[in-house]
Amino acid sequence: MLSSQILNDYYKALKDFEGGYSNSSIDYGKETNKGVTRATYDSLAVQLNLSNFYSLTDSDVQKVWMYFYNAYKINYILDSAKALFITDKCWGSGKYAIWVLCDHYKINRTSVMTMALAYFINSDTHFFDIVQGLYDVFYQSIVVNDPKQQIYLAGWERRNKWMTDFCKKKTVKFYNYSYLIALAILISFFAFGRRSG
């Protein structure tokens, strides 16, 4: 479950990065307000009961952010700071943010978080030391494929560093007790089955 305090701190800082309305022909998001693209708004406005696109409230932005959290199944991530970091990446890059992690942990690419991917992330005590570099490489590859995006690269990298530093301060040293408990239950089950057989 996401910590409400972490979310509140994140939302306050998010305003500085996203700003207000913008509409650039070379920005993949095209028309954007407070980090919400027009395409995202059009697909979610009724479902989330959002305000007019040009007058989105902070509450509207939080609804959209939580939609990404739920849609990409980030609830499998047990550390709020890690969940926050990954949802922020999905907010900006969609399924490609998940693919970066799948490639790193050498599992098949999926469009949303899976329990297999979550297992690696939940148990990775060096997660934040690694992911900043992974996403910097990802952003640089976007520029290689589309040089017009160069004007955004410094901003992407600055936000990536800020997110990494912010989340490292908020993270909880989590050891996968839930997975250990599940493993112990399975071992007990099979051991009992053998004895009773």
Ranges of each domain in the chain: 4-196
Report domain 4-196's class: mainly alpha
pTM given for the model: 0.80
As a whole number of angstroms, the distance between CA 154 and CA 97 comes to 18
> Is the pLDDT score of 45 beyond 70?
yes
> 77 with 1: CB under 8 angstroms?
no
Is residue 115 within 8 A of residue 193, CB to CB? The reply is: no
Q: How confident is the model at residue 145 (pLDDT cuts 50, 70, 90)?
A: very high
For the cut 70, the answer to whether the pLDDT of residue 175 exceeds it is no
Indicate the average pLDDT of the chain: 85
Per-residue confidence (pLDDT) for residue 122, from 0 to 100: 92
Residue 35 has pLDDT above 90, yes or no: no
